[in-house]
Chain A
């Protein structure tokens, strides 16, 4: 993050280009099929192209899968652009890269279709048979590239390539793009919408838990009990709904109980002054024990159909992705602009200075743990409604995944730095790495080793970057 975050510079209209582009692309993605075939109701292009009458719709199965991904990337980029004005050009460059990547795949998919079994869609020339996604992506990347060239009203700091890697978000994003290019070239199916959305939806709960963790670590604390708590809250929620509680109440209960646990941890840390790692180490055992004794290993099943929040797809987008994106944006803005959010950074950066500026350490620590409890509650609902069965054991090593995501996302374990966007992108990166292994036929036995190595590489890249900045 750049230094002038406390004094936002005047906004140029172009700064919002990324967000605008994303909105246009997402809109086209959902509205086009709706316009063409209104009776089907809102649905994504890709879903339609999988149906039999894709041909009649005039939609080609040629890489439309990439569109939502590129749009999501642009949305995050655009948001970040607004949040960190100094990094605008670096972001433009990355946006152009994301667009180019999408194009490469677009053509790649097309080639696969064209060279595959004879199809009736071919219209002679390659360009002629490229579908609407191609033209959208072409426009987007040209616009993004333009954004880097157009002189801006606010003189940006002198542009250097090194600036591209000026913060952790861009390092992660670059890693994500690189991963997709390399793995996608080896196996194009890796970039199919189905794989990508399964990946995003299946791990969104980790990203949500990582948001809470990011806030906790920013204040210089840590919570290693999240894995057990997610397990316990998931079972509570499941049992409630099986016992006849209406689904919305069963979704709400984990939030309340999670907040309660958070308050308890916060009280022990803030008022009784026990280090948070010790408190949560104890809570890890306590909560896990409660879960095992109370659940007796019985998995929860036979939940009513309206309970499965994570399986819902409003507008064709899986619910977990919506929750993840909304919460990430919300937390990013809140951490940056709210007084409490700024106070978290102040507390993590320098406790003494924060105290002298009149911030109440106790109240802030209490707040951050309650917030973390709420996020764990949300994560547990996303986890429990994912499948038809809720396991009566905590998800294995979840706390490590969550902490790793936060840390890889640029949160300094010593407190004071870190962003919500970074932590969510890191969760995505880690899980895309995991699923990439399957697509390039890495032996499952070596999966964890490669994963550990890549985490190490990410952490090292971040450290080297920071070191260079310091010099």
Chain B
């Protein structure tokens, strides 16, 4: 945001991109990838990377609406439970109620959307703070999943059902296509549409946004419902990937998602952030997990590294952004 009229040179443009939130994170990611590649030759192969793409799709899909929500200054802790609920409703309506599988998938995703809608409704209409509302529904939705499933798991799906979770399209895992499309579409929605700008406005100053005539309540209701919908889709992909439904599916995924979003440069206080940054966060976490595991680090040790990277990345970013603000 320089006031001089002259056009910035290429070097200046590059420099500005590099020291942006996403730029710093991208550099951290490149460094980690290069480092991991020197540790093991199984890491930097097309097969392995595509496989990792398969694993990170669920987190990635939920991270998109989570970015939206955190930008508005809210949070959704119930996404993991919604994922579990969706999976159970899918399996239960197919096996116990005898729905055709296509309808069961629809019912699953619908129940997820409805769960998100309930979150949004209470947050908007009753004024429950998002953290508290979704903390309560974290228990509630998981409880519903447990109650409906009664500890039974549904398996034995027909072949075509696994296409999304285990199949490939043009050599790339099917669900990765979905993620790519979602990222592009919803990234553009956030950066380039009225809706996206409204979310930033709400996050920066909710009262101000209200007085500027934005329909804040409608936007909030929309994004929490959207969060439920995406968690539902992620639940469907999850079931398709692991071939069974269990009520504890997606437990703790909310922390992975929030970590990815925050790592991606979205301020937890709202007002800033981007889908691109979030995706770098998702990819970075997945690559670290996988690369460290392949280098012989136990999977438990990797969570130490990821926790440290999270704090370190925010620290570096804070430092750079403060310096930049100072200049």
- Residues of chain A at the chain B interface (Cβ within 8 Å): 224, 268, 272-275, 277-279, 281-286, 288-290, 292-293, 400, 403-404, 407, 412-414, 443, 445-453, 455-456, 459-460, 463, 467
A282:B310 contact, CB within 8 angstroms: yes
Give 25 A-B contacts (CB < 8 Å), ordered by A residue: A224-B255, A278-B262, A278-B310, A282-B308, A282-B310, A283-B311, A289-B302, A290-B304, A293-B298, A293-B301, A404-B136, A407-B132, A413-B131, A445-B150, A448-B147, A449-B146, A449-B147, A451-B139, A452-B137, A452-B138, A455-B139, A456-B136, A460-B126, A463-B128, A467-B127
Query: Given known contacts A278-B314, A281-B259, A450-B143, is B135 in contact with A403 (CB within 8 Å)?
Result: yes
Residues of A within 8 A of B305 (CB): 289
Would you give the 0/1 interface string for B142-181, flagging 1 where the beta carbon is closer than 8 Å to chain A? 1110110111000000000000000000000000000000
- Residue from A285, A288, A290, A449 whose CB has the most chain B CB atoms within 10 Å: A285
Q: Does B71 contact A (CB under 8 A)?
A: no
Residues of B within 8 A of A412 (CB): 129
Q: Which residue of B lies closest to A290 (CB)?
A: B304
Residues of B within 8 A of A281 (CB): 255, 258-259, 262, 307, 310
Q: Does B184 contact A (CB under 8 A)?
A: no
B136:A452 contact, CB within 8 angstroms: yes
Question: Of A278, A283, A289, A448, which is within 8 A of B146 by CB?
Answer: A448
Q: Closest CB-CB distance, A101 to chain B, in whole Å?
A: 27
Query: Given known contacts A448-B139, A449-B144, A456-B140, is B318 in contact with A282 (CB within 8 Å)?
Result: no
Query: Given known contacts A284-B307, A293-B300, A467-B127, is B139 in contact with A446 (CB within 8 Å)?
Result: no
- A397 vs B149: C-alpha distance when bound (angstroms): 21
Question: Of A285, A407, A452, A455, which is within 8 A of B307 by CB?
Answer: A285
Would you give the 0/1 interface string for B91-128, flagging 1 where the beta carbon is closer than 8 Å to chain A? 00000000000000000000000000000001000111
Q: Does B268 contact A (CB under 8 A)?
A: yes
B143:A451 contact, CB within 8 angstroms: yes
Q: Does B238 contact A (CB under 8 A)?
A: no
Q: Which residue of B lies closest to A276 (CB)?
A: B268
Residues of B within 8 A of A224 (CB): 255
**Total chain B interface residues with beta-carbon distance under 8 A:** 45
Q: Does B188 contact A (CB under 8 A)?
A: no
Query: Given known contacts A278-B310, A400-B135, A463-B127, is B268 in contact with A284 (CB within 8 Å)?
Result: no
Q: Does B37 contact A (CB under 8 A)?
A: no
Q: Does B35 contact A (CB under 8 A)?
A: no
A-B contact number at CB 8 A: 129
Residues of A within 8 A of B301 (CB): 289, 293
Q: Does B315 contact A (CB under 8 A)?
A: yes
Question: Of A268, A289, A407, A453, which is within 8 A of B303 by CB?
Answer: A289
- Residue from B259, B262, B303, B315 whose CB has the most chain A CB atoms within 10 Å: B303
Question: Of B140, B262, B303, which is within 8 A of A288 by CB?
Answer: B303
Q: Which residue of B lies closest to A295 (CB)?
A: B300
Q: Does B141 contact A (CB under 8 A)?
A: yes
Query: Given known contacts A274-B315, A289-B301, A452-B140, is B132 in contact with A459 (CB within 8 Å)?
Result: yes
Closest 7 A/B residue pairs (Cβ)? A449-B143, A452-B140, A285-B307, A448-B143, A289-B304, A452-B139, A286-B307
Q: Which residue of A lies closest to B322 (CB)?
A: A273
- A218 vs B131: C-alpha distance when bound (angstroms): 15
Q: Closest CB-CB distance, A392 to chain B, in whole Å?
A: 11
A286:B136 contact, CB within 8 angstroms: no
- A281 vs B259: C-alpha distance when bound (angstroms): 7
B139:A279 contact, CB within 8 angstroms: no
B137:A456 contact, CB within 8 angstroms: yes
Would you give the 0/1 interface string for B284-316, flagging 1 where the beta carbon is closer than 8 Å to chain A? 000000000000001011111111101100110
A289:B307 contact, CB within 8 angstroms: yes
B140:A449 contact, CB within 8 angstroms: yes
Residues of B within 8 A of A289 (CB): 300-305, 307
- A443 vs B149: C-alpha distance when bound (angstroms): 12
Residues of B within 8 A of A460 (CB): 122, 126, 128
Q: Which residue of A lies closest to B142 (CB)?
A: A448
Interfacial residues of chain B within 249-264, with CB under 8 A of chain A in the complex = 255, 258-259, 262
- A278 vs B267: C-alpha distance when bound (angstroms): 10
Q: Which residue of B lies closest to A451 (CB)?
A: B139
- A177 vs B306: C-alpha distance when bound (angstroms): 46
Q: Closest CB-CB distance, A57 to chain B, in whole Å?
A: 45
A445:B151 contact, CB within 8 angstroms: yes
